[in-house]
Amino acid sequence: MARLIYVPVVHSTAEMGSAAAAYKVAFVARYGERKWVERSAEFDAIWRGIADAIGALKLDLTRVNLYQDSLPVSGRESALVHDLAAQGSRNHQLLESLMQGGAQLVGTESLALLLDEYKLFQSAERTEAQASALLEARDRFIVGQIDATLGEGRDGILFMGALHKVATYLPRRIKVEYLAIRSQ
C-alpha cells in the first residue's frame, strides 16, 4: 500500500505570474492596503502551519514523492518550482525545502489541459459545465501521474487547490490522509 498525504492549499499572488501585480492593485483599491498586509500575513501563517504539520510527520524524505497543483510534466519541474520560490511563493519554498531533504518532485499535470483551462477562463462563452469537465479531466490526469509514480511502501504529498477532487479517483492501493494543520 502507498500513502498520499493530501494538503489543501490556497494560492498566493506569487503563483499568479504576470497577473499578480494587477490583482494586488485591484485588491488594494477595493479593500485597502491594510487588508492586503493582513491577508499576506494570514497566508504566511497558513504555510508555516503546513510546514510544521509536515515536519511533525517525521517522514523519511528519501521515500517521498511531491505532487503540486498546476505543475506540468515538462522535464523542467525543479526549475519551475525554483522560479516560483524565488518570487516568494511559500508553497514552492516548502517544496524546495522538502526536495533538499531528499523528496522527489514529480510532474503532476498535463500542460495541454492547463493551457485549455487558461483559454477557457479567458473566453466569454465559458460555461460552468465546461469548467467542471476540464477540472475533472485535470484530476484524472493527476491521478494517473500519482498511480504511475507512487510505488508500494512510499509516501506522497499532494499540494492541491480546494476545488479539486483527486481523492475521489485514486485507486484503493493508495491510502489518503489529510494533513492536520493547527491554526495559529
98-109 pLDDT, tens digit per residue, is 999 999 999 999
CA distances from 110 to 113, 128, 138, 145, 158 (A): 5, 21, 7, 9, 16
* Residue 119 maps to a domain: yes
* Residue 184 maps to a domain: no
Report pTM.
Answer: 0.89
* Residue 47 maps to a domain: yes
Give yes or no for residue 114 having a pLDDT over 80: yes
Give yes or no for residue 21 having a pLDDT over 70: no
Task: Decide: 184 and 13 in contact? Cβ < 8 Å.
Answer: no
Classify residue 24 by burial, with Cβ atoms within 10 Å: 0-12, 13-18, 19+. Answer: middle
**Structural domains in the chain (count):** 1
C-alpha 109/C-alpha 73 separation (Å) is 6
* Residue 183 maps to a domain: no
Cell digits of residue 66: 511531491
C-alpha 44/C-alpha 26 separation (Å) is 21
* Residue 91 maps to a domain: yes
DSSP 105: E
pLDDT at residue 104, as a whole number: 98
Give yes or no for residue 9 having a pLDDT over 90: no
Looking at every residue in the chain, the average pLDDT score rounds to 90
* Residue 96 maps to a domain: yes
Give yes or no for residue 46 having a pLDDT over 60: yes
Task: Decide: 53 and 182 in contact? Cβ < 8 Å.
Answer: yes
DSSP 108: -
Across residues 87-114, what is the average pLDDT? 96
CA distances from 25 to 21, 36, 44, 121, 180 (A): 6, 10, 20, 20, 33
Q: Which domain holds residue 33?
A: 2-178
